[in-house]
Amino acid sequence: MIDLRALRENPEPFRESQRARGADVGLVDRIIAADESRRTVLQDFESLRAQQKTVSRSIGQAAPQDRPAVLAQAKELAEQVKAAEAAANQAATELDELARQFQNLIEGAPFGGEEDFVVLRHEGPQPRDFAAEGFEPADHLALGEGLDIIDTKRGAKVSGARFYYLKGWGMRLELALMNAALDKAAQHGFIPMTTPTLVTPQVMGGTGFLGLHADEIYYLPADDLYLTGTSEVALAGYHTDEILDLSAGPRRYLGWSTCYRREAGAAGKDTRGIIRVHQFNKVEMFSYCRPEEAEAEHQRLLALEEEMLALVGLPYRVIDTAAGDLGSSAARKFDCEAWLPTQQRWMEVTSTSNCTTYQARRLSIREKRDGRTAPVATLNGTLATTRWIVAILENQQRADGAVVVPEGLRPYLGGLELIEPTV
C-alpha cells in the first residue's frame, strides 16, 4: 500500500514511478479523486452524526409539546447518519481497491522493461573457455543424468512436466547449499525458520503477489489458501497486525521452505532440466527495519548473497533491475546472475528487493517511536535455491562428465571432492 498523504501532497513522483514501470499513470489521478470523494463523504457523515448527538441529548430537555417534533427529527437524522455511514464505507472501499492496484513507488531503479537493467559489476572467476580445454560442455541435465543425480523423466511420469527427482549426491548437493546458507545467515544474526507453505488470501495479497502475476500462484479453492512461491510471503505475514520494537536494530529472519510456482507466463522458456520448475527449495532472508535504514539493509542482503556465490566459486554479475521488471511490492531490486556456459548467457540465481513500507502498510506492521506508530520497511533476498545446482554442474564439469564439488560445499558433503558418472 502506498502512502496516500504523500501521493495527495506531491503526486508527480508517483506518476513518474508509473511511467518508469510502464504502468497506468492515470491511476494516480483516480486515486486522488477517490480520496477526495471519501474525505467529503466522511466529513458529511461526521457532521450528521454530530447533529444527531446534539438532537438526541435535547430530547430529555424538550418541552412536552415539542418532544414529538424533536423525536421525529432524531429519527430522520438517524436514517441520514445510517445512509451517510454506508456511503463513507463504500467510498473507503473504492479508494482501498484503487490504492491496492498501485505498485510500490520506485527508488532509484532504471527506467524500462526486462531488457533495460544496468550491469553494476562482474565478480567471481572468469567464465571457462571450454574450447581451449578441448571439449564441448554438456548442459546440466545431461550431466545430471550421467551422474544419476537428476531424473526429470520419472518426475514427469509422477507429476507432469517441470517436475523432477534429485537423487543421491544431487539431493545431498541441494542440502549442502541450504545448510551453507543457513550457517551464513546464522553467523549474521538471522533467526532460522521453517515456514508455512500455505497462506491466506489476506497474507498473499498483503505481500503484493495477487497482482499481474496472480495466475502463476497455485490456489486451493476448497481451503481458500495459496501455495507460496517464496518463504518471503510467510515471513512478511509473520508480524501482521503487530507493533514491533526496532530500537535495537532490524529484525532478521531466514526462511527455509519448498516453493511452488505455476510459471503460467513462461511457456516454452527454460523447460529443459530444472531451471524453471514448478517446485523447488529455497532459503530466503527477510528483514524488518526502519524506513531510513532500508537502503543500507538492502546492501547488506546483497553482500550476503555475494558471499554465498563466492563460497561456491561461480562467475556472476550483479544487475540493477529496471522498473518495468520489478514485482509490485519492490521499490528496487538487485539480481545476481551466474554464467551458464551451454547457453552462453547469464541466469538469475539470487534476487534481493527493498519493498520499503509497501508490504507493511498492507499488513499493518508498525513500529512505535516518539509516541507515534508508523509502518516499518521490509526487505527480502535469496541466499540459496535449487537452481544453483544448474550453474554448479555446468561450470564445474570435466571432460569425462564428472563434476568438481566447490570447495565451500565440501565440508557439508563429508569432504567429497568429485561427483563421478555412474557405470
Q: Is residue 380 part of an annotated ligand binding site?
A: yes
> Residue 268 has what pLDDT?
60
Per-residue pLDDT tens digits for 332-365: 999 999 999 999 999 999 999 999 999 999 999 9
Q: Is residue 382 part of an annotated ligand binding site?
A: yes
d(CA 216, CA 269): 14
Per-residue pLDDT tens digits for 82-129: 888 899 899 988 988 888 889 999 999 999 999 999 999 999 999 999
pLDDT band at 71 (very low <50, low <70, confident <90, very high): confident
Q: Is residue 351 part of an annotated ligand binding site?
A: yes
Q: Given a cut of 90, is residue 56 above it in pLDDT?
A: no
Q: Is residue 152 part of an annotated ligand binding site?
A: no
> Residue 196 has what pLDDT?
97
Per-residue pLDDT tens digits for 28-51: 999 999 999 999 999 988 888 888
- Residues 6+ away with beta carbon under 8 Å from 246: 288, 289, 290, 367, 376
DSSP string of 318-383, one letter each residue: EEE--GGGS-TT-SEEEEEEEEETTTTEEEEEEEEEE-TTHHHHHHT-EEEETTEEEEPEEEEEEE
Q: Given a cut of 60, is residue 420 above it in pLDDT?
A: yes
Active site residues: 261, 276, 348, 351, 387
Domains and CATH numbers, the chain: 4-101 (1.10.287.40), 118-419 (3.30.930.10)
Q: Is residue 378 part of an annotated ligand binding site?
A: no
Please give the model's pTM, rounded to 2 decimal places. Answer: 0.90
Q: Given a cut of 80, is residue 1 above it in pLDDT?
A: no
